[in-house]
Amino acid sequence: MRRPRGDLLALLRRQHPARRIFAGFVVLNLVGWGLLMLPISRVGEGAATWIEALFTAVSAACVTGLTVVDTETYWTPFGHVVIAGLIQLGGLGVMVFASLIGLLVLRRLSVGARIGAAQEAHTGLGDVRVVVRSILRIALIVEGIVALALTLRFLARGEELGHALWLGAFHAISSYNNAGFALFSDNMMGFVDDPFILLPLAFATIVGGLGLPVIVQLLRHWRTPRRWTMHVWIVLVGTGLLLVGGTLAIAVLEWANPGTLGPQSTGTRVLEAFFHSVQTRTAGFNALDIGQMRPETWLVMDALMLIGGGPAGTAGGIKITTFAVLGAIILAEVRGDPTVTMFGKRLSRAVHREAITVSLLAVGVVAVATFSIMLLTELDLDRVVFEVVSAFGTVGLSTGITATIGTPSQLILVALMFLGRVGTVTVATTLALRPRTLAYELPKERPIIG
């Protein structure tokens, strides 16, 4: 018997949010895969192979930027439009969902009470519309500003108006959504000393990685920091520290490297160190040859890629807030404090468990994937770890092995990109919205630690 359409809609509404986002992303990736498999998407005769189309579609929808083919020369203008559409839908789609969850937390209202109030007042749909409008408005403004700046610069560099407009729009979308896809065979290496290209990309990457809750509060209360929530302080301070720390580390380690910063002027070295500190935070553009960097630099970048950006944004990773909570827990334990505090506020024990769970699951996934790829290839550990963390953190930086590691390893990277984009949000949502309560407590016992 056929189920009425109204019943299907009601069934979808009753589904757990984690299932909705998972299903939605599966559909988006499948549609993108199908479109890129069309002959019209590929330059030359015939269609792309299934692994080329699948890898590119997942990388774009999960705003990663890893590629197995040259984006500029392999895909047609139609294929480029499909990739841009996947980036926009993938980036903003997770941002919408994560923002709704984040706003529940920021309002300091229990999930049950929040859902109940929405149902009684019939304001749930209205709230969703407000969030979606805010996300779209902010995205269009930032992307528009960056697209204009890039278009003007491309015109100054001799590009024709139509091509300059398309280059500006595509790279604005890619940078705001922290994707790292570029329409140049060498990514941004041709603009290594051009701040008028690199700085707009860095600006869009930073803004997209802050997350909607932070952007909204900054716009509303930028003159009154005392009204900012703990979440805003964590993301802003954490972003600043990671950007400065990453810039200093890359500059110090690569300053004399003849394959990267060595041949550049002092100003360009500082610019490139800052740019790559920004991009390592999950965007993935590169203006230097990552494969020529020192292994010590890769290790620093591994850490930055795994941490990522702010929640409810376009960045990936375990998120700044998760990392900050772990640091606060360690500090409280070392000091012997009875509670964990940050910026004058006490953290809920539920937040402790969520941060630990997300982090350990992420480390476990990275470890298993690294072990699996090393079994399938003969690559060095440092290169495999970098590739795996880049995929899981939806960054897109590579030491140059993506296209050569073979189909089985590429499929592992596909799974990592999907898990890195959807998995962390899904796990965090499941933990935050779990309805389970216990009417009893078991007796306590303490094992020996250490």
Instruction: State residue 357's pLDDT score.
Output: 86
- The rounded percent of the chain whose pLDDT value lies above 70 is 84
Residue located via tokens 């930032």: 142
Residue from 134, 72, 58 nearest 102 by CA: 134
Residue 316 has pLDDT above 90, yes or no: no
Domain parsing of the chain, residue ranges:
16-432
Please give the biggest Cα pair distance in the chain.
74
Instruction: Identify the residue with better confidence: 418 or 132.
Output: 418
Report residue 1's pLDDT band, with 50, 70 and 90 as the boundaries.
very low
Residue from 238, 274, 240, 270 nearest 255 by CA: 270
Residue 117 has pLDDT above 50, yes or no: no
Which of 103-112, 347-356, 382-391 is predicted least confidently? 103-112
Q: What mean pLDDT do residues 54-74 have?
A: 94
Residue from 247, 266, 245, 246 nearest 256 by CA: 266
Tokens, residue 441 = 């407590």
Instruction: State residue 285's pLDDT score.
Output: 95
- pTM of the predicted structure, to 2 decimals: 0.88
Which DSSP string do the residues of 223-256 spell out, in sequence order? T-GGG--HHHHHHHHHHHHHHHHHHHHHHHHHTT
Residue 120 has pLDDT above 50, yes or no: no
Which of 35-49, 126-140, 282-296 is predicted least confidently? 126-140
Residue located via tokens 């500090």: 331
Mean pLDDT of the chain: 86
Instruction: State residue 312's pLDDT score.
Output: 78
